[in-house]
Amino acid sequence: MTTRTAVRRLAAAALVLLLAGCTSAESEPLTVKVTRTSVTSTVTATGSLQAITEQNVGFPEGGKLVEVNVAVGQQVEPGQILARLDDFSARQDLAAAEAQLAQEQAVLARIRGGNQVNAAEDDVERAGAVLKATKERAEAVDDANASAVEEAERQLELDKEVLHDTKARTRGHRRSCTAADRRAAERDDGRDEPLIPLSGRGRQAEDCDVAAEKEAEVEQAERQVRASEAALERAENQRRVDRAEQDLAIENARRELEAAKNEAEGARGDRPHDIDEQAAVVAQLQAEVDLARRTVEDTILRSPVAGKVASINGVVGEFLGGGSGTTPLAPGGTVPLPERGSAVSSSEQAGNENERPGGSAFIVLGDVQSFRIVAPFAETDAALVQPNQAVEATFDAIPDLTRSGRVASIAPTATDIRGVTSYYAVIVLNELDPRLRDGLTASANVVVDHRDDTLAIPNGALMQSGGSGIVTVLEPDGAQRQVQVELGLAGDSVTQVVGGLREGQQVLVAPGG
């Protein structure tokens, strides 16, 4: 467990104990109000206090020197501006980083306030309506085709009956006509037949004429039957074709509905992850903005302690290299450097000084009455430590004393301390106290990030998972509701909330959080 994690847990536990003292755990849950406050994240290391009488200061990064505000021999105070570098490039980088951050923040706002999920659910509703309408249309078409088939069947039956009746009537007339023809043939053969009255012969001729007409009607009826059979076949074929087309349309509508449901489910499932992903992008860009802003701030060199300017190694218009801003012993050194000069040196001397571990100092402050802390930071914490960061120092031997300071530098190479990879850092105190002594054990709390006037909740109220977390909100009616929140900076005792909660809401704090 890192020191930072331990501090966070201790702070959270202290907050919970404070709340427990004011609230009965047996009668009601522990709650706190979501408020706007400052969120500070620190890392801590313990080292030894060392008295210093001379301090080397310089810019973390090189650049063109455009302003020198002090002279050799001048007395300076902590925080006084000593010199400035050209900050045009640094400000341009800051503006570009801020513009990119604003762009990604707008993307995050669109994701949070977007209607992708609602639109996907609307698509599901529309696809369902299309499927229902398609089924209704299929039923209507099939009903119409069924009616057409029934009508064709009825027509066919009717035509068959007409054909049957016509054939029956035709057979009667045909028999009469055939009988008369047979008797006439027998008479022609010389047989002795009684003469047929003229009236009888007229009826026979009439039967033959009617039989001929009826045969024509039979042929017409047969054609009508065949036409009705063809019409029935067409109606049945049309019903089969339409039914196949409607089945295909229903299947397509069903697939569209399933696709819309999958899309909606995906949108609902992806939204929290999309928010987390974009929130991480915003957090990364925020870190880049903070770094760019610090780069702008680092173009201004301030005195970390009170002292007298012993030397200045540069004039306006020259380009300076980045300096460590430490004495030759820093960070973590115990052997002083030999022949350390305090005046502007010759090129040969400067070349020799550049080979020293401490580097050539831009300004050397003498007559310094201050202390520094040389402390090792674990590698995970050391990655967050940068020169000029604010520090609060406490001392085991003086429990009621806290003094502010600044990070002077951090070692570029690691040191193995009892199997732990660590990096020594040098912190210079800019506040003194007569009780401070060389060799005292000191704890340096380095402020690695800070947010002002932001919504925050206690760490004990949060179940965290990456860039998001879950809190339990206590509603005015006493109901408890779990809410997913988007998180920003994780502080020592509180965590920044960038989405999901409103100021004034009550959230539950876990007793063991």
Residues 6+ apart with CB under 8 A from 332: 374, 376, 411, 415, 424, 426
∠ Cα 393 398 402 (to 5°) = 30
Tell me if 228 is assigned to some domain.
yes
The share of the chain scoring above pLDDT 70, in percent, equals 76
Tell me if 138 is assigned to some domain.
yes
Tell me if 28 is assigned to some domain.
no
- Give the pLDDT band of residue 194 (cuts 50, 70, 90): low
Tell me if 110 is assigned to some domain.
no
**CA count, 13 A, side-chain hemisphere, 484:** 10
Expressed as residue numbers, the domain containing 143 is 115-185+206-284
Round to whole Å and give the CA distance between 230 and 323.
Answer: 103
* Mean pLDDT, range 137-165, rounded to an integer: 87
- Give the pLDDT band of residue 22 (cuts 50, 70, 90): very low
Predicted TM-score (pTM) of the model is 0.50
pLDDT at 230 over 80: yes
Express each pLDDT in 423-463 by its tens digit. Answer: 999 998 888 888 998 889 999 999 988 888 888 888 888 88
pLDDT at 151 over 70: yes
Tell me if 167 is assigned to some domain.
yes
Domain count, the chain: 1
Cβ burial of 416 (10 Å; 0-12, 13-18, 19+) is exposed
* Mean pLDDT, range 127-146, rounded to an integer: 87
pLDDT of residue 43: 93
Q: How far is CA 72 from CA 303, 316, 322, 369, in A?
A: 14, 15, 21, 18
Round to whole Å and give the CA distance between 329 and 55.
Answer: 11
Cβ burial of 254 (10 Å; 0-12, 13-18, 19+) is middle
Q: How many residues does the chain have?
A: 513
Express each pLDDT in 422-434 by its tens digit. Answer: 999 999 888 888 8
Tell me if 191 is assigned to some domain.
no
pLDDT of residue 466: 62
pLDDT at 10 over 90: no
Tell me if 500 is assigned to some domain.
no
- Give the pLDDT band of residue 322 (cuts 50, 70, 90): low
Tell me if 327 is assigned to some domain.
no
Contact 362, 324 (CB under 8 A): no
pLDDT of residue 5: 45
Express each pLDDT in 496-509 by its tens digit. Answer: 888 888 888 888 88
The share of the chain scoring above pLDDT 90, in percent, equals 15
The one-letter amino acid code at 5 reads T
